[in-house]
Amino acid sequence: MPPVSRTTSITPALVLTFAATMMLGPFSLDTYLPAFPAIAADLGVSPQAVAISVSVYIFALAAGQLIGGPLSDRLGRKRILLAGLIIFAAASILLATLHTLSHFLVGRALQAVGAGWVLVSVPAMVRDRISGQEAAKLFSLMGLVMVVAPGIAPSIGSVLLKLGPWMGIFIFMALYALLLIPLLYTVVFSQMPGVVTVDKPKGGLLRPYLEVFKTRRAMPFIFWQVGAFSVMMLFITHSSYIYQDHFGQSADRFALLFAANIVAMFCCNLINRALLARCFSSLHILQLATGLQGIGLVLLLLATFLHWPLWAFLPAMMITIGAHGALSPNIQACYMEHFPRNSGTAAALLGACQFGGAGVLSALSGLLPHNLPAVILAMLACGLVAQFFMWRSVWAEPSA
């Protein structure tokens, strides 16, 4: 079929609906975190055993995106998006009924596959209809709303735990996914009529990935994203140790210290939107944001080895993590711009590498010595990957 016309207007309703759909990922990852002790007690295992479900979820999320991307190119974004929501909702209801750890892990994997199909469909739909600066603005607007999700998800989980048993959290997830379906029909599918499919690829599911890999100018953005995103994942993994164990803060203060990073991401995203409105290119903003993350990492290194107090350490961490508010949407915009076709497969590869690579590094970080210098050095190592590709893009610009 001929390529679709990219004439979709960006309305606030469209942005909020896309963002609410993408929020399914962080909601399903973070909402149940406060319930670990309750889940462990019911399943007869330790909270550490329940924590394995986080790694299972991340890897299954990556696998789900790898499968869902080519399928969305073949069958249409709408079908895969709706199928992902239904799989996610069914798995969430199933999780509320399970009583063994092994079954719980299988349920989380199935839930992640559904979420992967959802997460891969949205950026592909954006790329199908919108390109250039307009796509960058939409990704930024979506990111602005999504920044809030990781911050409020654990709080929602805590409220649900006060209202009833931990199973209510997964019922909430199922209802959230199901309520997205009529919202998508009302807002998105009405503005993007028909099945959004771009020239069905030939061959098996592997062939579209080979075509994506041939787009060499896009490949650096994958490594750039893995490096930058891994910095944030390492912080999330070890944030409790950093603030509660190393700096001796209470659980309530930890929540505030963690939220400070969400505020920093929110501010960077607002600045990103302002720069895009002033016609700065996504690549130039991406370079600036990566440089900002590099400055934050240097400050963290100084704060750690010079034993700065918490009030001096916190701004350095806020700069480092906050920069991601401008990093992620611009990497996505720059990368997806190379794929007017096979955009579902392209989005799947970026998402799978992002979550898979960061998940592996986060898991391996558990082998590090249990101290602050080891955590900060690991973050610095990941950050250097992003810095390399940032400087590589700067040097390549004159000849581009």
pLDDT for 33: 76
Tell me the range of 27-31, 193-197, 300-304 where mean pLDDT is highest: 300-304
Task: Write the CA distances from 186 to 45, 141, 190, integer angstroms.
Answer: 44, 20, 6
User: Does 218 score more than 70 pLDDT?
Assistant: yes
With cut-offs at 50, 70 and 90, classify the pLDDT of residue 323. very high
Span 352-375, pLDDT tens digits? 888 788 778 777 776 778 789 999
Read off the DSSP letter of residue 306.
T
pLDDT for 3: 40
Token duo for residue 242: 């950093």
Give the lowest-confidence range in 69-73, 146-150, 230-234.
146-150
CA distance 88 to 121: 14
What's the CATH number for 216-338+368-400? Answer: 1.20.1250.20
Would you mind telling me the total number of residues written for the chain in this entry?
400
| Amino acid (one-letter) located at 79 | R
CA distance 61 to 64: 5
Who has greater pLDDT, 367 or 181? 181
User: Does 399 score more than 60 pLDDT?
Assistant: no
Q: Write out the CATH class of domain 9-199.
A: mainly alpha
User: Does 135 score more than 90 pLDDT?
Assistant: no
- Report the sign of the C-alpha dihedral through residues 57, 147, 346, 399, in that order: negative
With cut-offs at 50, 70 and 90, classify the pLDDT of residue 8. low
CA distance 8 to 45: 50
- List all residues 6 or more positions away from 399 whose beta carbon is below 8 Å from its beta carbon: none
| Amino acid (one-letter) located at 88 | F
Q: Are 198 and 39 in contact (CB under 8 A)?
A: no
User: Does 151 score more than 90 pLDDT?
Assistant: no
With cut-offs at 50, 70 and 90, classify the pLDDT of residue 183. very high
Who has greater pLDDT, 304 or 250? 304
As a whole number of Å, the end-to-end CA separation of the chain is 32
Who has greater pLDDT, 189 or 307? 307
Give the lowest-confidence range in 106-110, 305-309, 362-366.
362-366
Who has greater pLDDT, 1 or 83? 83
Mean pLDDT on 23-36: 82
Q: Whole-prediction pTM value? A: 0.74
Q: Are 313 and 302 in contact (CB under 8 A)?
A: no
**Mean pLDDT score of the chain, rounded to an integer?**
83
Give the lowest-confidence range in 101-115, 187-201, 225-239.
187-201
**Residue range(s) in the chain whose domain bears CATH number 1.20.1250.20:** 9-199, 216-338+368-400
Span 220-272, pLDDT tens digits? 999 999 999 899 888 877 887 888 888 988 867 877 888 888 889 889 988 98
